[in-house]
Structure 1
Amino acid sequence: MMCKYKTLVNCYHCFIMSNNLATKFSLWNSLQACRLPDAPETEQKLELFLKDGPNAAEFINFTVTLCNELRTAARLKTQVHPPSDVNELDSFIQEFKDLLEELDCSPSDLFGTSLDECLSSVELRSALISVLLNELKTAKLLALRKAEEEEKETQKKIPNSTSVAEELSALCTSVGISRLPDSISMEQFFDLMLPKIEELVKKIPNKSALIKGTLTKEQWNTVECLNDRLRTEYKLRAEMLLKRLDVTVKSFLWNERVKEKEEEIMKIYKPLRTPLNSDIQVSVAEVLAARDGAYVCWFFNFEKKNPFQYQQTCL
């Protein structure tokens, strides 16, 4: 968006000095696209408008409007104020210059000249207005894109009605409610759920929870991410151990004397191997349901339990 390439700009300067800028750079089309207030109503008025330049109050007012529209769209700091007298333009020119420098579009970089000289030439001030109009169009497009992205992010944060319905359905199933009454209100729904949950709570062992305290929404999201990473790590390690087990058993079958008994060995091995599954789904909810005696149970039962059932034993 910003004009930073001086070599290209010098070529641009040579080009504009030998061409009709209002036509070449579609100045009128850009002006129509931006729909600015105080803009010339016809192409003929635009030519007269550019010819009069800073000597006319209309040109000054339009330039101020254009600069401030650009300031809003591109979120610039510099504001250009209209001069009190068209014969005293020092303050206006200084603010105009500051805005162009903030845009990285200074006349010295664009045209190799000062802003005063630029405004004194019909061709150069036409080119300058064209540059500002194009910058304004670009800034508005970028602002529109950013607004659309922010809208998408906002929509992502709003719960999807389908996902909410699925969560409620899962909640009902977990407490033993097969079907909800039609046209049930939220108050009636919670009145229905409360006794079911209280009944389930009574069945929980009289021990302290393994995890105590409360977490924020962000912390729960972090816990979910950590749990996913732990499950992935567990699965990789379990798959490695299972692969080693399969390879070890197969290595015994390489022996010529054992090959004759391969079918007999596999009949014994497969029923033992099949229950060993590397994909275990332990949710945060299951961790929350664990009691503080779970880790003690694991030490006691470790020798008797299948290593791949470790997480299930703890929970």
Structure 2
Amino acid sequence: MMECDILDSLEQLGYDGPLLEEKALLTAAEGGLSSPEYVDLCRWLVSRLNPLCGLEESITSGPGDMDSLQVEMSGLLKELHCPHEEAVSRILKGGVLKPKDCLKFALFLSSELQAAQILRSMRLSDKSQNENAVFRDLRSICETLSLPEPGGQEAAGVFFQVQEKVEKIVECLPNGSAGNPVLNKSLSSEQWRKLHGINNDLSSEYECRRRMLIKRLDVTVQSFGWSDRAKEKVDSMAMAYQPRRHSLRPQSTVDMAELLAAREDLCNVVKTSSGSMREKTVCAVNKILMGRVPDRGGRPSEIHPPPPEMPPWQKRQDGSGWKGRGGNWGRGGGSWRGGGRNQGRHGRYGGKRGRYQY
């Protein structure tokens, strides 16, 4: 029932007024805008909705000034795009509201307030997650370098400490340990912006490919369970596969930090079939030789085009077709007086009338 939904919403919103009981709510709805309790409920909902949505309209009048109250109520509902247009127009015309219309307005305002609170919490959650991610990375850097936590410090001071610590560590390393960076030039703001765009395009492309590979993996693993023997071990297969499957993420984790950290040794391309690589990848399976296998074809040079669905069109030859009213039929060779391909033993109509035989 509508009144039950309104009471549940008011309890969740923290309303502690006199309309938390079903009987009192119905009585106030019957009074409509003439009921001070109903007007106070609407004013309470609007007062909490206003800072979340930045409403231009508000409810400041009471039942004593019915004309102003009707204008404010109708303007507020129109600003919120209330779907009950007939009831809203009835307010502006000064008509009597039904108790059901008042309940609809109360439910609409409470639902709008709940939706606004949810959207606000989502925005705050996203902002806190981004801030927490940055702070978490910075704290991890400080822990790795044995620096104090960055809490309460200015960003410039923290980065200066990090740079100074890294330079000291690099000086203590043997020559060539860190390697030369791949990116050895300074980039302008416009170049960094273009580089970010290129990275976003590549990340989108790799995400599409990863999704396709993950889907292929899901389909392959699903096909393993089609046999009758595998159907008995569905639970054990799921326990072995699901944890590994959930660890796979389609989003690419490569960002600009990897570009700055890349060294020149990443640019050395070595073939997987080279001797140095095969020493590390050789195994017993590579020594197994396969025998003769049946030829499965598939060579494009040996594939013949399919036959045409219909014979090719040819120009009509001379002597074919009609030769006049009393002449031959053409291809059938029939005539008005009998003969031809359509004539049976007794003609088409079973009779022996030569004049109308085909």
TM-score by length of 1: 0.46
Which structure is larger by alpha-carbon Rg, 1 or 2?
Answer: 2
TM-score by length of 2: 0.41
Higher relative contact order (CA 8 A, sep 6+): 1
Bigger fraction of residues in helix: 1
